[in-house]
């Protein structure tokens, strides 16, 4: 009799466990403090919305870093994004909004956009993102007691940049550091081809059959800061922007009526490299170690 009851229970319980463990994925729910919000401007509609702060961080981590990345990398991204947002909020008190939802600040994606992008993978991926946020809840980076401008980008050229070599200010926590893990990035090296005519057109330069390139200034990692194209002075970042290149680490070669450009890295190169963070996580580094590598002499604080 006992054996019959045991068999009956197993027949009922095993399918139940299978369905709930392997099929159904319940979305993790957050609890929010109602007055802890951030003002986000949609650059397409110009509509400004107040969004619960951690909900915003969820949409930023999901928009800025692949959910397939290691959890420790996602946790590092959560702290960096939270720090960057807090830094912006302190600087925009007199404005109508704190941040925009694009790469001008941080990419922010709504739940609707994420569900559309991820389809049936949404529950699994959003739970991973939420886990990264929950396990770093309220954490942010400081330098000498001040919230840091925690810049980040996709892929370095093998090392990150000193902030003043790309932007204006020399920030003590945004120093050039080694980032050899970036070689795993699918865009570590990229190649572009233009016709000679299209090349000149995009750069607003007069057409010449023979192309003359002279690099006049480079960053410490080899990015082009300034150059001359047919004796016309230009900034490396402007060239990268006008030609839609992934970075201003580039090599330009003419082949008769075609131009081939090879780039290294993706993004401005200052702060945390996302592919570098993922590479570190794969090697067993924890999120706090990743953050302290890319943001020198900083401390992690908690609200």
Tell me the C-alpha distance between 101 and 108, whole Å. Answer: 5
In the sheet with 48-52, reading across from the earlier edge strand, the strands are 48-52, 37-41, 99-100
pLDDT tens track for 90-129: 998 889 999 999 999 999 999 999 999 999 999 999 999 9
What CA–CA distance (Å, rounded) separates 158 from 156?
A: 5
CA-based R_g, the chain, Å: 24
Helices 122-134 and 71-91 sit at what angle, rounded to 10 degrees? 70
297 Ramachandran zone, left/alpha/beta (phi>0; psi -120 to 50):
left
Domain ranges of the chain: 37-182+269-302, 189-264
Q: pTM for the full model?
A: 0.86
DSSP-assigned states of every residue in 128-190? HHHHHHHTTTTEEEEETTEE----EESB-SSB-B-HHHHSS---TTS---B-GGGGGSTTSEE
**Between vectors from CA 152 to CA 146 and to CA 154, what angle results, nearest 5°?**
170
Question: What does the pLDDT profile of the chain (303 residues) look like in tens digits?
Answer: 545 444 444 444 444 444 444 445 566 665 544 458 999 999 999 999 999 999 999 999 999 999 999 999 999 999 999 999 999 999 988 899 999 999 999 999 999 999 999 999 999 999 999 999 999 999 999 999 999 999 999 999 999 999 999 998 999 999 999 999 999 999 999 999 999 999 999 999 999 999 999 999 999 999 999 999 999 999 999 999 999 999 999 999 999 999 999 999 999 999 999 999 999 999 999 999 999 999 999 999 998
Model pLDDT, residue 168: 87
> 144: Cβ–Cβ under 8 A, 6 or more apart, which residues?
none
**From CA 189, how far away is CA 262, in angstroms rounded?**
7
């Amino acid at each position: 009799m006992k054996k019959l009851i045991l068999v009956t229970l197993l027949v009922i319980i095993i399918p139940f466990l299978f369905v709930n463990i392997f099929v159904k994925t319940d979305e993790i729910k957050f609890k929010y403090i109602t007055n802890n919000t951030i003002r986000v401007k949609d650059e397409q509609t110009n509509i400004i919305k107040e969004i619960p702060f951690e909900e915003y961080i969820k949409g930023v981590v999901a928009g800025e870093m692949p959910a397939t990345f290691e959890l420790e990398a996602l946790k590092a991204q959560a702290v960096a994004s939270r720090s960057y947002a807090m830094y912006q909020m302190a600087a925009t008190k007199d404005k109508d909004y704190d941040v925009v939802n694009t790469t001008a600040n941080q990419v922010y994606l709504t739940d609707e956009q994420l569900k559309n992008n991820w389809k049936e993978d949404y529950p699994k991926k959003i739970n991973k993102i939420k886990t990264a946020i929950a396990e770093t809840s309220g954490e942010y980076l400081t330098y000498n007691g001040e919230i840091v401008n925690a810049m980040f980008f996709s892929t370095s050229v093998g090392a990150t940049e000193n902030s003043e070599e790309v932007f204006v200010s020399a920030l003590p926590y945004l120093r050039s550091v080694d980032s050899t893990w970036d070689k795993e990035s699918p865009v570590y090296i990229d190649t572009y081809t233009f016709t000679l005519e299209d090349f000149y057109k995009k750069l607003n330069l007069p057409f010449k059959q023979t192309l003359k390139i002279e690099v006049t200034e480079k960053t410490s990692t080899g990015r082009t800061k300034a150059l001359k194209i047919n004796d016309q002075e230009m900034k490396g970042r402007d060239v990268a922007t006008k030609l839609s290149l992934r970075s201003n680490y580039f090599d330009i070669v003419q082949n008769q009526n075609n131009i081939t450009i090879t780039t290294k890295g993706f993004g401005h190169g200052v702060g945390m490299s996302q592919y570098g963070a993922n590479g570190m996580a794969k090697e067993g580094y924890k999120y706090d170690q990743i953050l302290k590598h890319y943001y020198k002499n900083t401390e992690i604080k908690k609200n």
